[in-house]
Amino acid sequence: MDQMAQTELSPYQKFSRDQWSKLRADTPMTLDKAEIEHMRGLNEHLSMDEVEMIYLPLSRLLSLYVEATQSLFRATQEFLHAGKAKMPYIIGIGGSVAVGKSTTARVLKALLARWPSTPKVDLVTTDGFLYPNAVLEEERLMDRKGFPESYDRAAILEFLTRIKAGDRSVPAPVYSHFTYDIVEGQHVVVDRPDILILEGLNVLQTGTMPRDGEAIPFVSDFFDFSIYLDADVQTVEDWYVSRFLRLRQTAFRDPGSYFHRYAQLDDDEARETALKIWNTINLPNLMDNVRPTRHRADLILRKGDDHRIESVSLRKL
């Protein structure tokens, strides 16, 4: 099958960086350089140019999608003779460790909250729904942290069910990358947002479908729109190792850090340790669980070696 035929059969419409940037139209820039710098992740590229060319067009697209979805919701409520209710619009963001999910989530949250309608936008990461280390150790899952089985799936689904139902003050657990564990007794409270962004490794995963056809909800069933951050596997490995080396010089130096034991490693030892963690945990999870969900997303942001987004693939309607 030739390339043209493959393109025609694809469920996506693909845009180059320049093509996508033209779709910004008159969407205003509402962030300044200091805010953009603050949102940038460790070892990541994020510039004013990146926000203008990639994220402003995406913000414009999402504004149209949110408006259309809310109109459909109101029509459905009228059809059902149901009372007025608020239905949050949920955006899921998935992708590998070190690919830049958190940065994308922070930028989108800031841009969406500054639409003229000033919607309330909340951001929650699925890290908070990991089982506590004590549970993972008991179940011998510490080396599988980040794999689907290391998450409290029932808790995530209950959280999303309550959010989608418009419940007030829904708590979500808090995770600390410093202690590498759930923060006991701490929660973030999500109180009927207009938009909720849920960011995490496995948010697009489905799992095994039941043979009897019974309904088994997946996290992505609650999404109105989903985004996958993509890059070559070798590139992501390089980013992961580079980030590990930077953390060795910063956060790992604090005696309270879970990874403090790595702070004294020399460059060669640190690189070897990072590669071992990548090859035994993060790479298998990426190849077996995360990357296979890429084409379940509504939008794929493809990054180059320098973290700049080179192409955008939007699912056709």
Domain boundaries, the chain: 3-206+214-315
DSSP conformation letters of 95-110: E-TTSSHHHHHHHHHH
If we measure between CA atoms, which residue out of 139, 129, 120, 281 comes closest to residue 190?
A: 120
If we measure between CA atoms, which residue out of 58, 91, 34, 99 comes closest to residue 308?
A: 99
Q: Are 48 and 33 in contact (CB under 8 A)?
A: yes
What's the pLDDT tens digit per position in 95-145? Answer: 999 999 999 999 999 999 999 989 999 999 999 999 999 999 999 999 999
Between CA 166 and CA 176, with CA 172 as vertex, the angle to 5 degrees is 155
Residue whose pair of structure tokens reads 């067009």 in the numeric block: 57
Cα(193)–Cα(88) distance, integer angstroms: 6
What is the reported pLDDT for 152?
Answer: 96
DSSP conformation letters of 42-76: TT----HHHIIIIIHHHHHHHHHHHHHHHHHHHHH
What is the reported pLDDT for 129?
Answer: 97
Cα(258)–Cα(90) distance, integer angstroms: 32
- The secondary element (H helix, E strand) that includes residue 13 is strand 12-16
Question: Which DSSP letter does residue 207 get?
Answer: -
CATH of 3-206+214-315, one of 3.30.70.920, 3.40.50.10140, 3.40.50.300, 3.40.50.460: 3.40.50.300
Question: Which DSSP letter does residue 289 get?
Answer: I
Nearest-10 Cα torsion for 267, 273, 279, 283: -80
HSE on the CB side for 154, CA within 13 Å? 1
Rg of the Cα atoms in the chain:
20
pTM: predicted TM-score of the whole model, two decimal places:
0.94
Identity of the amino acid at 173: P
Q: For the chain, which ranges sit under pLDDT 70?
A: 1-8
What is the reported pLDDT for 69?
Answer: 93
What is the reported pLDDT for 6?
Answer: 52
What is the reported pLDDT for 208?
Answer: 75
